Amino acid sequence: MVWQKEEKITYSVFLDKHKQILVFFSLLFIVLSFRLSYIQIMQGNYYRAISEEQRMYNTHEKAPRGIIYAADGTMFVENTFTYVALFYPFEEEKVPSKKIIDELSDILGRDISAAVNKNMEYGRVVKLADNLSLEEMFKIQEKKLKLKGVAVSKDPKRVYNFSESSSHITGYTGEIRADELKSKSQEGYKLGDYIGRGGIEEAYDKYLQGTDGGWQLEINAKGYQTKAFQYIPTQIGNSVYITINPQLQQIAHAALKNSPTGKGAAVVIDVKSGAILAMVSAPDFDANLVGTEEFNVYLKDKKLPLFNRTMQALYAPGSIFKIITVAAALEVLSLDPNWTVYCDGKFELGDRVYSCWNKQGHGRVDLKKAVAQSCNVYMYNLALKLGIKNLDEFADKFHLGQITGIDLPNEKKGFVPTPEWKKAKVKMSWLQGDTVIFAIGQGALWVTPLQMASMMSAVANKGTFYTPFIVSEVMTPERQLLYKHTVETDDSIIMKDETWDILQDALFESVESGTSQRSKLRSIKVAGKTGTAQNPQGDDHAWFVSYAPFDDPEIALAVIVENGGGGGAIAVPVGRAIYEAYFDLPPQALPVYSHTPQTEQKANAKNKQAAKKPDNKRKPN
């Protein structure tokens, strides 16, 4: 019948749809089963780790940084601890009660409610107060039962034991900035870490960083702590051993600070290894004040106490550059040291007159006397014989315009002008007048005190440039050696032995009877050279470079007193004090010396005027 036929068709359609639904749900079940199996079996460990991370929360206790030891084993930089009050919002006490806040505020003498309101939003460990005194810490411990959820923890703090004399060497620490974290996060640094800023703290930060510890806590779905699992102790950073002699450092600092201007730099270097024994920059700052209101005074000080003058300040070398001029003349010109020039106090070139510091002149001088008396006129004559090409070449040989490679950050390399530079910079040709002032260390020639100490070290050992260094080794807290400095040499100055002998004898004569005679010691022979450097911003700077003992050199030094004037009168006494400390000699009265700061400053002033005066008659050189 028709109705029976329709019923069969309807049933068949229903059956087809039922099969389709059954197949769909079967496939869905299979897919879900495979997915669940994959998550539980294949990815089980992965999701278990995520779950554990979400269940666990680690509090961070900062680890102390490594100790910095001086050459004699003295702790140069160490740690102390301040105390911080923390609140742990456990399940039964999600926020501190008003009673707890009032009690803690009374102990600390300040209202901490603002800190609580600010930091409680995440429901985790909150720093309520820092820099707690020992008395405050004990009071909190005494009332621990009343201060539920409050605990006291130690927070490491750096102590710089020779801060005023050595903060430019050590640097200091500061909290990592957000912009720094972007580049350093891959190195393991995290928000809240303290990193080195300047000096050893920055250069050896990875060694000095300790390993943080803290409590491992369990948290619930709301983010509150429910249980404390274990305490992971902090681990102090590695120990860094430096080459600085603390006594020598303090003597050099005191001598420089007591100079007429109290500004400048001094560097003392071991000529047989390149080890830095003392490195002083003045004015100085106290790294122990970092993070306080008092430290802001340094930031605003126009004398720039944070500026490391030993390796970042650039000065004209003045007459100490004559060492290079003489070396070039002996090598390139095969100059007879007995060759003489008559100095009447001035030198004419075209219609310009260049002065010697001695207005009356030195009379007839040979090479040794010219170096000893720092005769400008003799050097002017050598300059014209040599030409700028040879002088530039020897400036490069003596490593001017190059960094020394010391293991501290932000070293400046100085600058040596060339004819090509002048043409590009001021669109003018290099003239003979440029060459004569170049030969006495003036013009656009810039060096650092560290470079000059390194140069004198090379002169002392006849050409070997040892790369200066300040960290000798790094050891773990368990005394396992991690790093040991290997003495390194840079390109040596290759010159004839005769050249070195003549040059060294002339520097010795400068101390015996010349401008450096204030550095003369009774039992130790000293070689040295003074200088007065032009300063466009004010009074000239006073230089003294030297090494001793003359017969078997041990140390070399460079001293500059900013705005001091003549090196013989102002910079030499600083160098002498360093020698007396190093060789353990009793201080002696300084000899009377006629080469005053004013005499050389006046000569420099006249040469400045001569350099400014236009002269179309002078020849390019």
42 versus 464: the higher-pLDDT residue is 464
pLDDT surpassing 60 at residue 226: no
Name the band, by pLDDT with cuts 50, 70 and 90, for residue 98: confident
Average pLDDT of span 485-493: 93
Q: Tell which residue, 402, 410, 457, has the closest CA to residue 269.
A: 457
d(Cα 311, Cα 280) in Å, to the nearest integer?
A: 10
Q: Tell which residue, 79, 211, 236, 208, has the closest CA to residue 156.
A: 79
d(Cα 449, Cα 267) in Å, to the nearest integer?
A: 7
Q: Tell me the pLDDT tens digit for each residue of 518-577.
A: 999 989 999 999 999 988 888 999 999 999 999 999 999 999 999 998 878 899 999 999
pLDDT surpassing 90 at residue 100: no
pLDDT surpassing 70 at residue 595: no
pLDDT surpassing 60 at residue 621: no
pLDDT surpassing 90 at residue 111: no
Q: Decide: 167 and 280 in contact? Cβ < 8 Å.
A: no
Q: What is the 3-state secondary structure (H, E, C) of 97-132?
A: CHHHHHHHHHHHCCCCHHHHHHHHHHCCCEEEEEEE
pLDDT surpassing 80 at residue 119: no
pLDDT surpassing 70 at residue 45: no
Quickly count: other Cβ atoms within 10 Å of residue 22's Cβ: 10
Residue 566 is encoded by which pair of tokens? 């003549």
Dihedral in degrees, nearest 10, Cα atoms 603, 608, 613, 619: 90
pLDDT value at residue 612:
47
pLDDT value at residue 197:
95
Instruction: Identify the CATH homologous superfamily for domain 57-237.
Output: Penicillin-binding protein 2a (Domain 2) (3.90.1310.10)
Average pLDDT of span 266-276: 98
Residue 174 is encoded by which pair of tokens? 């500061």
Residue 264: strand pairing partners: 282, 561
Q: Tell me the pLDDT tens digit for each residue of 281-309.
A: 999 999 999 988 899 999 999 999 999 99
Q: Tell me the pLDDT tens digit for each residue of 355-408.
A: 998 999 999 999 999 999 999 999 999 999 999 999 999 999 999 999 999 999
Average pLDDT of span 240-269: 96
Name the band, by pLDDT with cuts 50, 70 and 90, for residue 225: low
Residue 431 is encoded by which pair of tokens? 């003239």
d(Cα 266, Cα 254) in Å, to the nearest integer?
A: 11
Quickly count: other Cβ atoms within 10 Å of residue 428's Cβ: 11
Q: Decide: 565 and 598 in contact? Cβ < 8 Å.
A: yes
Q: Give the lowest-confidence range in 68-72, 259-263, 587-591.
A: 587-591
For 459-497, letters b (16+ CB in 10 Å) and e give bbbbbbbbbbbbbbebbeeeeeeeeebeeeebeebebee
d(Cα 547, Cα 253) in Å, to the nearest integer?
A: 19
pLDDT value at residue 46:
57
Average pLDDT of span 139-150: 71
Average pLDDT of span 106-112: 75
Q: Tell which residue, 235, 275, 252, has the closest CA to residue 473.
A: 275
Supply the DSSP symbol for 185: G
Of the spans 132-141, 149-158, 167-176, 611-620, which averages the highest pLDDT?
167-176
Residue 592: partners with Cβ closer than 8 Å, 6 or more residues away = none
Distances (CA, A) of 572 to 452, 511, 543, 555: 15, 10, 8, 15
Name the band, by pLDDT with cuts 50, 70 and 90, for residue 618: very low
Average confidence score pLDDT of the chain = 85
pLDDT surpassing 80 at residue 148: no
pLDDT value at residue 232:
82
Place of tokens 């600390």: 108
What value does the CA radius of gyration of the chain take, rounded to a whole number of Å? 36
Q: Tell me the pLDDT tens digit for each residue of 186-207.
A: 788 887 788 999 999 999 999 9
Q: Tell which residue, 366, 276, 371, 262, has the closest CA to residue 320.
A: 371
pLDDT value at residue 118:
55
d(Cα 360, Cα 343) in Å, to the nearest integer?
A: 9
How far does Cα 614 stand from its chain's mean position? 42
pLDDT value at residue 346:
93
Q: Decide: 146 and 100 in contact? Cβ < 8 Å.
A: yes
Length of the chain: 621
Place of tokens 């040469």: 607
Fold (CATH) for 246-289+312-612: Beta-lactamase (3.40.710)
Quickly count: other Cβ atoms within 10 Å of residue 513's Cβ: 14
Name the band, by pLDDT with cuts 50, 70 and 90, for residue 212: confident
Average pLDDT of span 36-46: 61
Q: Give the lowest-confidence range in 473-482, 497-506, 587-596.
A: 587-596
Q: What is the 3-state secondary structure (H, E, C) of 527-556?
A: EEEEEEECCCCCCCEEEEEEEECCCCCCEE
Collapsing DSSP states into helix, strand and coil, what is residue 382? helix
pLDDT surpassing 90 at residue 329: yes
pLDDT value at residue 50:
47
